Amino acid sequence: MLTLRKASDRGAANHGWLKSFHTFSFANYRNPREQGFSDLLVINDDRVAADKGFGQHPHRDMEIFSYVLEGALEHKDTLGTGSVIRPGDVQLMSAGSGVAHSEYNHSASAPVHFLQIWIVPNVSGAKPRYQQEHFSPQKKRGRLQLIISPEGADGSLQVRQDARVYAGLIDGQESATLTLDANRYAYVHVARGSVDLNGLSLHEGDGVRVREEQALTLSRGVNAEVLVFDLRAQELPQLF
């Protein structure tokens, strides 16, 4: 069963320097029907103006990853990490017992467009950690590349939850299929472009809750970049 969440139905915020769309309830956007899905709590589609960003602020007990689509994002945290995240890079910060970080547009002239995604962990109070890896377009072209997993398999980043995240680039005649184990949910988010999911036409910003499906096939893409989340079969995140 596929349940479509249209891009136009998302929450929106415009702070001048920041334009953001919220798939699930976040900050001042509250929708009782959109409180997350399985262990997926937040998908924010953010565009940050040149030389602007999020000042240092704290988190705990959350797996937070950033996926840059355009531009460059500068990260600093109280673990001593300093890095710049560009398209193809995946950054994963496990907040654990507590960490503070800032995220700024690295450019003084061009905007940055990125997704910030929160996954609820399966353990409380763990040691904070930071990971970053680059996945080239070749690894994602016409296939679903594993970028996040519990085991850190195949060069993916290691998340503290029974969740796997795949990224794919689908265009023209390309197609990619993900087979789901029994009793698993999934969530599909179209980061840009358009694509068909099991025959359902999707566009940039659309999301789909997936239940009781054995396979997910992405096809008929037009410059599509897609994230697919393989998740536990539960409806809502369980917060500590």
Binding-site residues for Fe cation, in ranges, read: 57, 59, 101, 103
Q: Which helix H or strand E contains 179, and what residues bound it? A: strand 176-179
Residues 6+ apart with CB under 8 A from 218: 144, 168, 170, 175, 176, 177, 188, 195, 196, 197, 224, 226, 228
- Given a contact cutoff of 8 angstroms between Cβ atoms, the answer to whether 102 and 57 are in contact is yes
Encoded amino acid at 216, one letter: L
Binding-site residue numbers are 57, 59, 101, 103
Residue that is written with structure tokens 């334009």 in the block: 19
- Dihedral of alpha carbons 82, 87, 88, 91, sign: positive
C-alpha 143: how far from chain center: 17
